[in-house]
Chain A
Amino acid sequence: MNENFLSRHRQLLIVWALLLTVPFWLPMLGGYTALAGRVVVFALAAMSFNLLLGFTGIMSFGHAAYFGLGAYGCGLFMKFVTASTLLGVLAGTLVGGIAGTLFGLLLVRRRGVYFAMVTIAFGQVCFYIAYKWDEFTGGYDGLRGFARAPIDFGIFKLDIAASNNAFYYFVVAIFGLAVGLQALILKSPFGRTMLAIRENERRARFLGIPIEKHIWLAFSISCFFTALAGSLYALLNNFADPLGLNYIMSGNIVMITVMGGMRTFWGPLVGAVLFVALQDYVSSMTTNWMFFVGLTFVAVVLFFPRGLMGMLQKRAGT
């Protein structure tokens, strides 16, 4: 066999080469750096979600809840407690992550459709709270009144407030840490038990793997990372949107993951590129952009059931 062009190392190299050079080539394609920030944030949310769907074989249909809680947690903390960006991100991550961890306790005995339905229900509860509680969350208008602030590292100051590029690299750095950690988790013995649960729950149980505990742990981990993505989303817009908690957002996360390829590590990133590109370009032409996203989704699922990344890997014989 000749060396296939999509080996793990090559994938890593291509992904990072592209991500790190975005500010240089994206404007030439008519994009802008903030758009790339959206891609990276959605990719992080979808990759975190994919820890469940692709690697544990569990369908959560309410991941917007943790994404949105992360965004509101970050925004509210920066508005009411202190305007520190890093602490805001930490607060958002903890709020969404802890909510997911606690809620996960109620979930772990549910499977399949029931699991998905309970997760939707929780997501909608969060949505309506944010939507109705005008004084605290800003209600329908969303949460304003906070803004990302420059980060002082002592030796140098990273001005993520004024420079879009600086903020983009800030997001990419956090993305890198987060997905690096995810890769480490997947390569650990615990990560292999997630695969085992996905592949055959009965066998896993009779090997002595405590299934419920591991599903709970996987769910919790996934929620923390999703909330981290949500926090970054709040910073990206300087705004937290109740629609970020809505089931439509959950659906978007699922679509991004499935289009990109749910059995692959980088698939959701590819899905996020496609989703954000479609959203941006098509919505500048028609308000019915979702129709075209939907068409693309159907086409991808019909013709490349393993998603774009899954198809590429198969072609390459990985």
Chain B
Amino acid sequence: MSTVPKLEVKGATKQFGSLVAVSDVSMRVMPGELRAVIGPNGAGKTTFFNLITGFFPPTSGDILLDGQNINSIPAAGRVKLGMGRTFQITEIFPELTVRENARIAVETGLGFSLRGWLTGADEKRVRDASDEVMTMANLTAKADRLVGELSHGDQRSAEIAMALALKPTLLLLDEPTAGMGDEETYQVTGLIRRLHRDSKYTIVLIEHDMRVVFHLADRISVLAEGKLLAEGTPAEIAANEHVQNAYLGKAE
């Protein structure tokens, strides 16, 4: 296995005025790894994600993708480098069908060529790629439904399908099971595990549901008050005293 981390964060800090949302956090995520980022509310997890995806620049520190410093690359450029993201609140195109949602993502990923469009050469590629991501997300049967009318779990799957359509090498999932019942959580967890085990995606996910985290993650990073409190395998984290005090104890 390659020794260059898929994603490396070095001493990332983000200040909003006097508030330090993320303070000197470092992290190395190896290719093929599934990393969970956990922490109490307000620990800076989503801010940390926003730094990685280029939503805003870090106050200090560096972010490296495949060993390349991407600090100066805006969000759209990072998507092209292989970063796919989903949001805490599902971000989809509600009044379009699942197929249209997938299609827009696929087309954006492929880039537009006037010739390919006029000759119809792109049409088949786009259709095949859309079908493929819908199959991965188990949404083929619902392809012609409006996404806004689907269940929470299916909407989340559609969002993940859109992220996949861009052929990412690194998937960042912000609370993929937020606000879901058991059955939907199970559905989305299953999808994430398939992406990790079968399709070998490198995944970083923020999650509140501890069952999901301990079930899925190879390694866990714990944030508290913007700082990195601990990092390790699920077993190590479960046994860590600081973590129990700061987080797990309160959550139980």
The digit string for A198-230, where 1 denotes a CB below 8 A from any CB of B, is 011011111111100000000000000000000
**Surface stretch bound by B, among A168-176, A185-193, A277-285, A295-303:** A185-193
Asked if B108 and A207 make an inter-chain contact with CB atoms under 8 angstroms apart, the answer reads yes
Q: Does B91 contact A (CB under 8 A)?
A: yes
Q: How many contacts between A and B, using CB within 8 angstroms? A: 62
Asked if B76 and A210 make an inter-chain contact with CB atoms under 8 angstroms apart, the answer reads yes
Across-interface contacts of A207 in B (CB, < 8 A): 79, 104-105, 108-109, 162, 166
If A189-B107, A200-B91 touch, does A206 touch B75 (CB 8 Å cutoff)? yes
The interface size bin for chain B is: 20 to 34
If A192-B107, A207-B166 touch, does A200 touch B94 (CB 8 Å cutoff)? yes
The complex places the Cα of A198 from the Cα of B94 at a distance, in Å, of 10
Q: Chain B at the A interface: mostly helix, strand, loop or mixed?
A: helix
Asked if B95 and A199 make an inter-chain contact with CB atoms under 8 angstroms apart, the answer reads yes
Count residues of chain A with CB under 8 A from any CB of chain B: 18
The complex places the Cα of A181 from the Cα of B79 at a distance, in Å, of 31
Q: Does A195 contact B (CB under 8 A)?
A: yes
The digit string for B79-120, where 1 denotes a CB below 8 A from any CB of A, is 110000101000111111000100111011100100001000
Asked if B75 and A195 make an inter-chain contact with CB atoms under 8 angstroms apart, the answer reads no
Q: Does B53 contact A (CB under 8 A)?
A: yes
Asked if A209 and B108 make an inter-chain contact with CB atoms under 8 angstroms apart, the answer reads yes
From B75, B85, B105, B166, residue with most partner A Cβ within 10 Å = B105
Partner of A208 from the list B92, B96, B109 (CB cut-off 8 Å) is: B109
If A189-B107, A192-B104, A193-B104 touch, does A200 touch B76 (CB 8 Å cutoff)? no
Q: Does A196 contact B (CB under 8 A)?
A: yes
The complex places the Cα of A44 from the Cα of B231 at a distance, in Å, of 62
Partner of B96 from the list A189, A190, A199 (CB cut-off 8 Å) is: A199
Across-interface contacts of B162 in A (CB, < 8 A): 203, 207
B148 to chain A, nearest CB (A): 9
> Considering the complex of A and B, which 5 residue pairs feature the smallest CB-CB distances, nearest first?
A199-B93, A208-B79, A203-B91, A189-B107, A208-B76
